[in-house]
Amino acid sequence: MADLAIPKAILDEMIVHAREVAPHECCGLLAGSGPRVTKLYRIKNIVAIPGADALSSFDQAKMSHLARLSPEERAEIAFVMDAHEQALALRDMRKQGLELRAVYHSHPESPARPSVTDIKNATEFDEIRDKLNLPQPFHLIISLMASEPDVRAYRIADSRSTAAAFAVV
């Protein structure tokens, strides 16, 4: 069995989420036991809200670019999970005895591969993840640029991404 197994119903729900918020990027977490995902948590993408250009996860060049865009335009090129919703999801995982298995987000107009920002955000999350004693998650990207969604998995570590396989069960 693959290191990550996602039920078709959960994969379908991720795609529905991506389509619902397009042209913005959606984001969320997947949890489960062992390799099998059993629960999806939709998390709000806060990049679309006013003041998002002041978020610390963006470097100066990115902040300068974001400042020129409307909140709606920002959400098309990046995501930052709402910290409160993310904390509630992680708390629920602990309560249910589940582990974080994957972080997912969509690329409405680009391929299903990590952007420079995606890799930077994942690397920064690793520092927090270690402090919270969470397992290293897979990173799933849903591309909507073609008529059929393309979903790909990656491992992101040490500022590099590596394609990873997952099974649809």
* Alpha carbons 6 and 10: distance in angstroms, whole number: 7
Considering its fold, how many domains does the chain have in total?
1
* Alpha carbons 42 and 152: distance in angstroms, whole number: 18
Is the pLDDT confidence value at 71 over 60? no
The structure's pTM equals: 0.85
Average pLDDT over residues 52-59: 53
Q: What is the pLDDT of residue 77?
A: 61
Q: What is the pLDDT of residue 125?
A: 84
* Residue that the structure tokens 């069995």 belong to: 1
Over residues 25-41, the pLDDT tens digits come to 999 999 999 999 999 99
Structural domain containing residue 55: 5-168
Instruction: Note if the bond before 114 is cis, omega within 30 degrees.
Output: no
Which CATH number characterizes residue 20's domain? Answer: 3.40.140.10
* Alpha carbons 124 and 86: distance in angstroms, whole number: 15
Is the pLDDT confidence value at 1 over 80? no
